[in-house]
Amino acid sequence: MRQFSLTNHKGDRLTILEHGASMQSWSVAVGPERRELILGYANPQQYQQDNSYLGAVVGPYANRIGNGNLQLAGQHYQLQLNEGKHHLHGGANGLHRQQWQLQQQTSSSVQLRCILPDGHSGYPGPTAFSVLYQLNADSSLDVTLSASATQLTLAGPTLHPYFNLSGKAEPINQHQLWLNAEQYTPTDSDKIPTGQLLAVAETALDFRHCKTIGTVQLDHNLAVTADMQQNAAILTSPDQQLRLLVRSDYPGLQVYTGDYLAAPFSPRQGICLEPQFYPDAPNHSQFPLRLTSPEQPFSAHILYQLEHG
């Protein structure tokens, strides 16, 4: 399994795998020590058995689609049901299970490509996906996700790294979190949105003021400010030495506190901050969504900005 190493002049290091275009490692210097920021398997072959989407690009469409039901221009498509009676993260063999092909590479960037055939996991296609990772001199990671298709289809991939800014194998409970979100999309018992947008005020999802995560269990989509000039989220390490700022042009952000992580990791050892369209958006006309067609290729932008305390 090929690995691609990116570096900048500050000594930040990012390792990307061709399997799932996955982020395996992201480390930075904090004082005299080198600190690992994301969870990763030491042996790249372990990613082939991973069920936590560890560091991967997920899709074609991130998150859940109720009953695998997809309607496009009057045509019904049945997506693969890989989470009970629902579709999750592109199916069992979504982008996270694919071997991506190298397109171009420099010392600080890599672009990978993957083509899914027509009917893969039920999606119309073929669709060509691309991800460009750019590690900048200011310790930001700039990611562009793209897709082009020969017919009308659904694309909305995202990144699935688990962050732990302490660099230690401990829960993320003592991290501090701020979210630029006034509303969230409530779900039923299967985590499928009801179609409502409710206020975060007076709920466990209210992180409009920075606070310690504690023991609250999060696996929710927040309606964030979709603007590359404004932070959607800020995560701060327990020792205040590192801050991670998340920006995206996606309208939603899934916040997941890793409560179902399994060995060799432990529950809550990492937190996911996943920019995305809202879950099940194709089945809720009031939810923001951009379809992909030959005339309108897909593109999304995610920026992770690191700041040292």
Q: Which residues are catalytic?
A: 160, 274
Distance CA 220, CA 83 (A): 17
DSSP letter for each residue of 174-217: G-EEEE-EEEE--B-TTS-B-S--EE-TTSTT--SS-EE-TT--
Distance CA 36, CA 23 (A): 12
Amino acid symbol at 158: T
Distance CA 65, CA 48 (A): 24
Q: Contact, 122 vs 79, CB < 8 A?
A: yes
Residue with tokens 């930001």: 140
Kindly give the pairing relationship between strand 252-256 and strand 272-276: antiparallel
3 state DSSP class of 281: helix
Q: Contact, 271 vs 235, CB < 8 A?
A: yes
* Continuous segment of H or E residues that includes residue 112: strand 109-116
Distance CA 17, CA 133 (A): 12
Residues comprising the chain, all counted: 309
- Which two structure tokens, joined as six digits, stand for 11? 């000594």
DSSP letter for each residue of 46-74: GGGG-SS-TT-EE-SB-SEEGGGEEEETT
Residues 6+ apart with CB under 8 A from 181: 200, 205, 207, 208, 222, 223, 224, 225, 232, 253
